[in-house]
Structure 1
């Protein structure tokens, strides 16, 4: 780090905005309302109680205890349980984010298209004889190169971009809140989606979400809507007064996000009647955020006494604003996720585990590893964009393999928490779970919730007759764990066991 590193440390606000862009998905609220109506709210509250908030407190305790460690979740698990255990969990988690980046490089342009044109036009994009898939691929390659180059300049650049993304999402939520209240007042306090009884918070207005299996599928959706808070683990050592700021940032963020999701879903019902606005075949899970917010603008226009054409125009501009905000939020999340997971696995693990100078750190950044990561992502994008249907199907299988693998580290971290609490030699300046009983209860509840969500994610395709998708969901974590074990065993044989034998001969 340079001599002015103190000025580059993350403040509480910067940390909260980073967590916000990494975890909070604005689109989750309109999607949840589309799937379950008000019935989504109890499940988000339950998921926050059984997973997100207790898990966030665990991350806060880890972060405060290991405030000087640069390896993030790898260091946390390595100090609590052991190196091989930590490497298995972190490697699987990191590999999943590689696939996530490849996917986002192509889909990032959909919200941008909505911001510019008012709708998704990406399927019609063509340039110099390239079809839309290839154009999106080229844009994705340019994007990952740009992000890698910018992020490699230091944390200060990343912080500025994630702050813009976090601020954009915060502003979008303010627009939703204020506009919904204006519409409610204009309608004399009447909700567009009426609350007839307690059943309104249990049953879904969506005909596709009437069975126990479909409700279970939504619970999984709600749980995974809270994922990603462990990503900021690699930023503890970059946080100003980390011992205090980091747990405070995680706690504040967790509470805001948990409350925000439930309030946001309720606000959707203020200005949107499900049967009138969302039952059309043109509305789907992909465009619901734009459709619902367009309806907000339309209703807002009517609240101010505008005519039909003017109200539609207000709706168009709010939908464009949603597209821009979601583009900026995805950009902020992308910058954090292209750097933080890699930083944790590189800085936490032994340098000799990685070939050549891959583990070298310059100005606090794993620049060489970031460049290799960029090349890997570019290769994947080229294969998917220019490889035809076979390559596209292969990538879809990779996504299936990483769906569960991305969340398995939650189980690794929650399980390791018991060992972490038992080790009295680890100084714990911030503690929420102060007794063995509270630690055990929190660990069991969090681990069971994640295990349940993953189990259902795995079996859900099989319940619809798609056995291959279920098999690939199982193969993913198993494959990544085997690769991690082989890598670590190779390192042990080369350096640890060999070193011990050498000392014995001496």
Structure 2
């Protein structure tokens, strides 16, 4: 389940589009200095609070009080909204490729229809989550396994193609192509790198379902980190074989995964077999991811937030323990995000903007993890754990502070648009949306406690 939420073939494509082969160096540095300690911190937090089911919200609430716990839950939940929208968009794109066998859907579909189909996907998955028990576990096993195997297969087939004399599209390859260009564009893309490899904490609400949480959760996080590192580095190398590093397609973020398997199939004389195999794997993976997101993010907000901050209707659960009204609120805000994107020039711009928005809001929320870790290490006697990341408390706090600073700076720089020319009309449009959207999200979170307080005062008045 952690792997499904953390990394997919699309995540490799997105960052290859942003940095070309230079992203390989970025991946190596990021995993060595950030992702590995990130995963190990999550492992300690998960084992420290293994009797709790709220994950990140619990970690902050237990270490810093109810108010910060609520705002952690809200910001984590609301930051997942663009992620859910982006995932549902990817489902629509994959269905278009399944039907047409190419990218022609975007040429005939209006922005309004694209948004409408995305919203329908939400409704379908809410129904699935409300009526099918254990659907998340089943979808995660199938979807995560399919995507992992397809990504491994892509790397292997790249090697086969080279052994058969296949040409390298990015030639000439010199050491300089692996060095990222340190400019404003590069700084604006770091957030998307962090977004691509973060999210392991989302499975923390399920840690109590493991046979031996204190030992198994840290092991699972480490294994997931190793898998993700292998796929990102070797996957990026493989992309450099089939795509020209110097001239990448404009729509690579939206359609690059499909282009990749289409090309490798053609090079090996398999026709479109590899393309359709990947489309099926992509749909299974996106179904699993969407199901996990809709369930876990809503549970974190509703199930682990007290009535002091949350209106009573949102706390209500159905007979299966599912916060159905929370699902409805999720879909409503997703519809609002979709409405904002309708006014962008085309489907590709909508897709890219939503993706890049994730590179802003997701890292900002990830900062809570390092905040909670620092608080735990400051109060180590109060929060003992069977697994401890770095025995020395001062060094552990220093590493936590480093990760916090990197994440906060990356999120802030992500506000600058990445996929449109600087100073153009779309650039200022997206920059405005990137600033206003997070502000609106936080403002709504401040309203809910006021509604809850009004309900409580009204009840006291009756009594």
State the TM-score, normalized to the length of structure 1.
0.78
Q: Which residue of 2 aligns with 1:45?
A: 28
Of the candidates 198, 201, 205, which is equivalent to residue 178 of structure 2? 201
Going from structure 1 to structure 2, the CA distance change for 1:252 and 1:455 (only over 3 Å counts) comes to: same
Across the aligned residues of Structure 1 and Structure 2, the Cα RMSD in angstroms comes to: 3.6
- Say yes or no: does 1:265 pair with 2:236: yes
State the distance in 1 between where 2:92 and 2:71 align: 33
Contact 1:401/1:475 (8 A) holds in 2: no
Determine helix, strand or coil for the equivalent of 2:9: coil
2:143 counterpart SS class = helix
What corresponds to 1:88 in structure 2?
Answer: 71
Match of 1:456 among 390, 408, 413: 413
Could you tell me which residue of structure 1 aligns to residue 135 of structure 2? 157
> Residue deviations 1:421-473, cap 9 Å, x none?
22222231111122112212221221121122112112457993345644543
Q: Does 1:376 align with 2:332?
A: yes
Q: Per the alignment, in what secondary structure is the counterpart of residue 348 of structure 1? A: coil
Q: Which SS does the other structure have where 1:464 is aligned?
A: coil
- Indicate how the Cα distance of structure 1 residues 287 and 452 shifts in structure 2: closer, same or farther if over 3 A, else same: same
Match of residue 304 from structure 1 = none
- Structure 1 counterpart of 2:294, from 338, 356, 360: 338
Q: Give unpaired runs (5+ residues) of structure 1.
A: 1-17, 126-130, 204-209, 302-313, 500-506
Q: Quick one: distance in 2 between partners of 1:363 and 1:106?
A: 31
Report the number of matched residues: 452
| Match of residue 54 from structure 2 | 71
Rounded to whole Å, the distance in 1 between the matches of 2:309 and 2:213 is 29
Q: Deviation at 1:376?
A: 1.9
Equivalence map 1:295-374=2 (5 Å): 295-301=263-269, 314-362=270-318, 365-373=321-329
CA contact (8 A) 1:234 1:341 kept: no
Residue deviations 1:112-151, cap 9 Å, x none? 22233211243366xxxxx755554554344322211221
In the alignment, structure 1 residue 440 sits paired with structure 2 residue 410: no
1:481 positional shift: 3.7
How big is each residue's C-alpha offset from its partner over 1:194-215, in whole Å with a ceiling of 9 and x where there is no partner? 5754323216xxxxxx672233
Deviates more, 1:439-448 or 1:315-324: 315-324
Deviation at 1:28, TM superposition (A): 2.8
Q: Is the 8 A contact 2:367 2:404 kept in 1?
A: yes
**Larger Rg computed on CA atoms:** 1
In 1, Cα distance between equivalents of 2:213 and 2:422: 48
More deviation, 473-482/153-162:
473-482
Q: Which residue of 2 aligns with 1:147?
A: 125
Aligned partner of 1:117 in structure 2 is 100
- 164, 171, 183: which is aligned to 1:212? 183
Give CA-to-partner distance per residue, 1:254-291, whole Å, 9 cap, x none: 1210222001112233x42627xx73767643222222
Which of 258, 261, 266 is residue 293 of structure 1 equivalent to? Answer: 261
Distance 1:114 1:469, change over 3 A: closer
Report the counterpart of residue 226 of structure 1 in structure 2: 197
Taking structure 2 as the reference length, the TM-score comes to: 0.84
> Distance in 1 between the 2:401 and 2:89 partners?
38
CA pair 378-181 structure 1, distance change in 2 beyond 3 A:
closer
| Cα drift, residue 174 of structure 1 | 2.5
Inter-CA distance 183–138: structure 2 relative to 1 (3 Å threshold): same
More divergent stretch after superposition (456-465 vs 56-65): 456-465
Q: Which residue of 2 aligns with 1:61?
A: 44
CA contact (8 A) 1:401 1:473 kept: yes
Deviations 1:28-64 (A, max 9, x none): 3244444444321110111222322211111111111
Q: Which residue of 1 aligns with 2:7?
A: 24
Match of 2:375 among 419, 428, 449: 419
